[in-house]
């Protein structure tokens, strides 16, 4: 039973610049025991590519959505297109959507409105949510605002991708029944490593976030799903458990959450 990479960007332009195809990435991932991959969109174009690539590979699924940093660039027509994309055969979630106050606070209200619209699309199609939440260092404003919106819209199925929060936030998310997805940051961020020890296995997923968040010792290079075993090894060690048990548990969490065959 292989690793489920719940968040990767096979559709990223960086791979195109490197002349690396999705077929190359998927083949290498399979050889590394990563046999299920979610290909995540971040705008309309990348979401369409995610769907096309998912149709091409039996073990790849698509997640479609508009990243919070880009929502101010799109009109109502984009959400209508997203609504259509959500009907595609291998779309398993809406994402990555959320709030990001790290890069700019200029479009906060637009981000909130866009998040609500995309949550409604997810609920219309009975799809879970892949959330992106990022705060300025020392602040929890984006996290707090996102949770308030999720609660107000009665969101049941949410996974926070690239989670790097606090023990208090872990407790909040667990109480809501939400999931946290961990990537290569855990191999280099000591504070995150401590927090990961507190995440219950039943609320945990694993991601590469490729081509970003490359794990040590390759952290200055381009990331690929094939490097995900470095993340599972690190987490298993932190949680003092057998690596295969971790892989099986997180895979079961993800296949159930995204309604994907095991």
For residue range 44-57, list pLDDT tens digits in order: 999 999 999 999 99
What pLDDT score does 261 carry?
85
User: Does the annotation flag 57 for ligand binding?
Assistant: no
The radius of gyration computed from the CA coordinates of the chain, to the nearest angstrom, equals 17
* Mean pLDDT across 71-83: 97
Q: How many helices (H) and strands (E) does the chain have?
A: 10, 8
Q: Is 67 annotated as a binding residue?
A: no
What is the sign, positive or negative, of the torsion defined by CA atoms of 96, 56, 256, 232?
Answer: negative
Confidence label for 37 from pLDDT (cuts 50, 70 and 90): very high
pLDDT confidence bin for 92, thresholds 50/70/90? very high
Asked if pLDDT for residue 158 goes beyond 90, the answer is yes
What is the mean predicted confidence (pLDDT) over 92-97?
A: 98
According to the annotation, is 125 in a ligand binding site?
no
Domain ranges in the chain are: 3-257
Q: What is the model's pLDDT at position 104?
A: 79
Q: How far apart are the first and last CA of the chain?
A: 9
With tokens 């998310």, the residue in question is: 173
pLDDT level of residue 262 (50, 70, 90 thresholds) = confident
For residue 164, what are its two tokens? 């790097």
pLDDT by residue (tens digit) across 182-196? Answer: 999 999 999 999 999
With bands split at pLDDT 50, 70 and 90, how would you rate the model's confidence at 108?
very high
| 171 annotated ligand binder | no
pLDDT single digits (tens) 5-31: 999 999 999 999 999 999 999 999 999
Residue 72 among known ligand-binding residues: no
- pLDDT band at 103; cut points 50, 70, 90: confident
Check pLDDT > 90 for residue 251: yes
Domain 3-257 classified CATH 3.20.20.140? yes
Give the angle subtended at the CA of 196 by the CAs of 194 and 201, to the nearest 5°.
145
């Amino acid at each position: 039973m292989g690793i489920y990479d719940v968040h990767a960007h096979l559709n990223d332009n960086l791979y195109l610049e490197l002349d690396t195809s999705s077929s190359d990435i998927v083949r290498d991932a399979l050889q590394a025991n990563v046999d299920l991959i979610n290909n995540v969109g971040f705008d309309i174009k990348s979401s369409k590519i995610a769907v096309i690539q998912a149709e091409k590979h039996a073990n790849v699924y698509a997640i479609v959505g508009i990243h919070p940093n880009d929502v101010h660039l799109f009109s109502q027509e984009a959400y209508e297109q997203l609504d259509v994309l959500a009907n595609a055969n291998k779309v398993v979630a809406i994402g990555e959507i959320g709030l990001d106050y790290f890069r700019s606070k200029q479009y906060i209200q637009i981000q909130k409105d866009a998040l609500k619209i995309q949550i409604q699309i997810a609920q219309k199609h009975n799809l879970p949510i892949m959330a992106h939440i990022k705060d300025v260092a020392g602040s929890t404003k984006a996290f707090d605002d996102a949770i308030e919106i999720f609660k107000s819209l009665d969101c049941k199925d949410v996974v926070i991708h690239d989670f790097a929060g606090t023990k208090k936030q872990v407790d909040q998310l667990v109480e809501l029944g939400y999931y946290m997805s961990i990537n290569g940051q855990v191999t280099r961020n000591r504070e995150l490593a401590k927090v990961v020890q507190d995440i219950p296995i039943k609320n945990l997923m694993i991601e590469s976030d490729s081509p970003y968040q490359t794990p040590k010792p390759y952290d200055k290079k381009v990331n690929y799903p094939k490097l995900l075993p470095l993340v599972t090894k690190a987490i298993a060690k932190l949680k003092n458990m057998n690596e295969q048990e971790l892989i099986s548990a997180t895979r079961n969490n993800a296949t159930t959450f995204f309604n994907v065959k095991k």
